Amino acid sequence: MRLVMDPLGTAAEVVELESLKRWSQTPPVHHLTDYSAIGEEQKHITSPFPFDPSINDKIALWSGDISLLSVDAIVNSTNESMTERSSISDRIYSRAGPALKEEVRQDVKECRTGEVRVTQGHNLPARYVIHTVGPKYNIKYQTAAENTLHSCYRNVLQKACELNLPAVAVCVINSVRRNFPPDEGAHIALRTVRRFLEQHRNSLDVVIFAVDNIDVGIYEVLLPLYFPRSLQEEETALWQLPANVGGPDGEPILPDRQIRIIDNPQHSLDGEESIDLSLQLETSVTVGEHAFSQMQGDLDQQRLLGERPQTDPISELMIKEMQNKERYERLLRRAKTEDLSEVSGIGCLYQSGYDRFGRPVIVFVGKWFPFREISLDKALLYLIYLLDPLVKSDYVITYFHTLTTNANHPSFTWLREVYNILPYKYKKNLKAFYIIHPTFWTKMMTWWFTTFMAPAIKHKVHSLPGVEYLYSVMSPDQLEIPAYITEYDMSVSIFAK
């Protein structure tokens, strides 16, 4: 057993490469969702990332302290002056000792965005440290930021090959501190590594995705899309992969014009003001739904010729918002006048007291929602009838996924329709959405829905393994739930012990 000193001066055990489980050794998920049976649209005819056991054997997913890995090289994400203070950088510099900081100061000095610099590992278990600088994310220059992040990952792998370093551990280079969406960053990382391994099979023995607790869930969901472990996972990925999976190297492609972004424009981002991504996600109009994303024609040519665009996106957006508001008002009037006992009598949706902050708690019981048997029009009206008076101020939703079956799972089409109908106050005033007893299917579907359909509430969704985890935010006497849920919760807890 090898030990190194951690930043607090205590001994920490080195993680040997042989102890890491390869992706090919991780069993694939069974009971995969049959998307064709529920009417979802298939995004790819053939798999852009086919099942390849030899490539899967070169991948490892590991959650922990990257500075403890005994590999040929580890990656440090930093800034251009190489002085960024982050939890990963701090641990790397602390364990490496003062010699690393001195080498950076004397020999390296700086690293431009998208490029890499290499130093010795010094007191680290790793032989080398590959430093790189990820981009700032600005919605106005989204493609440039994505292209630069791709360059970071590609340059790291290329440098490892040049130095004949067969085992490299890659941290998450994109950073929320620079406003980069973590899921989008993961897509770029995974497809870039996949394409590189396809092209350089004999150059690298293993690429370790060294992630922390925040990102591990994202990588667990996305890895099977780019590195399927079975033909069934490959087929399922035809529905789950984004329509745009990049070019031959995994680089971003402008979908409207299919132009590869080859130049490295990242330095133009340095002088731009970085925006707060959370503010962007709080809007009720996502980028894909925004009128700007629907503009047609060659806008560059129109500007050069002095022509005006054929559509006014601001006007279209205002008209669309007015139409949505009028539609919701009509539905609200119907909800107050029509007989909704068909849905209300089921008891799957109701208010149950208040949380410790005085916010009303809405309970949804998944097992009692007969999606395929009830009138979905009535279900939507009852949802509006119950929630409209509650969402005028802060509120929370608790969804119990306990013992649900496929018959209880609503389709993405219906969920998207409901989400688009509900006005902005529903998203803004929702402070938390708790999912109790989630399954892998729930986590994957939740991530997919909140990423591509409901980004405004993504950071508000929390998966909890049991009912007791709710008690830190709401008193037990305020939570009225069916007996079968508490019985299931107790049986699971006993089994776990």
pLDDT at position 281, please? Answer: 35
CA dihedral sign, ordered 438, 440, 445, 446: positive
pLDDT at position 37, please? Answer: 53
- Name the token pair of 263: 């130049």
CA-based angle 368:370:371, to the nearest 5?
Answer: 130
CA distances from 217 to 26, 29, 239, 304, 446 (A): 15, 14, 20, 46, 12
pLDDT at position 282, please? Answer: 36
In the chain, domain spans: 3-260, 336-496
| Same CATH fold assignment for domains 3-260 and 336-496 | no
The yes/no answer on whether domain 336-496 falls in CATH 3.40.50.720 is no
Q: Characterize the bridge pairing of strands 69-70 and 116-120.
A: unpaired
pLDDT at position 139, please? Answer: 74
In b/e form, how buried is each residue of 128-163, taking b as 16+ CB within 10 angstroms? Answer: bbbbbbbbbbbeebeebbbbbbbbbbbbbbebbbee
Do residues 194 and 209 lie in contact, with contact meaning Cβ atoms separated by under 8 Å?
A: no
φ/ψ of residue 246, rounded to 5: 85, -175
Kindly give the parts of the chain with pLDDT less than 70: 1-11, 29-40, 254-318, 320-321, 493-497
Per CATH, which fold does 3-260 belong to?
Leucine Aminopeptidase, subunit E; domain 1 (3.40.220)
What pTM was computed for the model?
0.57
pLDDT at position 12, please? Answer: 72
